[in-house]
Structure 1
């Protein structure tokens, strides 16, 4: 009985550790960057990559004209990706545990590795794909996406005078008729947060 209990408890602990590692898989992967030029500042621990920037970090893919990367004392990185004039930078990441991808575009994309958060600024667009099929799409001036929780918040107010609108397209779900409790947690849709950029619960 004791041996069986020990084995069961050990299995549960290992499963929890495995799940935790899966959730942090991208955050703990090395950041690989290609660009036309690089400038590094020792004092601020800042690297500036310019010209056809392509960055990958696990399932994360980022593309733009310039990427400024800062490394924190604990080793985590954050970065600001900007597009060439008139264009938008690109971000893509796989969601944990499902065959779904989040991808977005904006004139500026801010990635926070420690918080596992992405902020899309100006002419922002966020899309969720099931495999290669577009499922949901939202646009606004500022979109904040929390990878760990799958929540996002959208602000339609422009950073320049004139105002803006939030627009969303939500595709019908095949299992929409099933009770919510019967759906696996991993297939839960993206959920809008209650406040832009605030703590998501």
Structure 2
């Protein structure tokens, strides 16, 4: 691992996303929370319940064995099934505000969770039909965390040239005998690739690697 981690970046990303997402949720009609998302089997309400539970578990340092598994996620969602939407959103807002210091103190092993919560915010916006669902003010911070996540998951080395940006970004690790892959397109689509989200309607160029080799979330 390269020693380039910014321990404050996960908290900055979460707070930035809080300021963008929470007003959208407060203004949404209750029927919108029953919309299906890109996460199989999950509605908007399910995604928000999962995110709120996970972030508050971090903030409160309740990281018992078996957390963040599919079974644990399902239990968290079930426990919140009869909560009013306002309470679900309140818990999420609190978690996005308070989880940063715990993630920072973990030395990098929890950084990917902050990135995952940001991706879930994109899932919600996409379900709502918001343009640029995986973009917005947090995109630059998310790409910063993606650099570390791809290295930790040891995805193939990829050189990305993003629309409208000078220079290139590097993700993943070099593999003997395999040249670096190349990506050209926008940052939001790159996030979709690494998060395993649907790519319908996007435009990008990808050479030297298959899409499923890039996914950083199990």
TM bracket, shorter-chain basis: under 0.3
Flag the structure with more relative contact order, 1 or 2, with Cα contacts below 8 A and sequence separation at least 6. Answer: 2
More helix by share: 2
TM-score by length of 1: 0.27
Query: If each structure's strand is expressed as a fraction of its own residues, which one has the higher value?
Result: 1
Larger Rg: 1
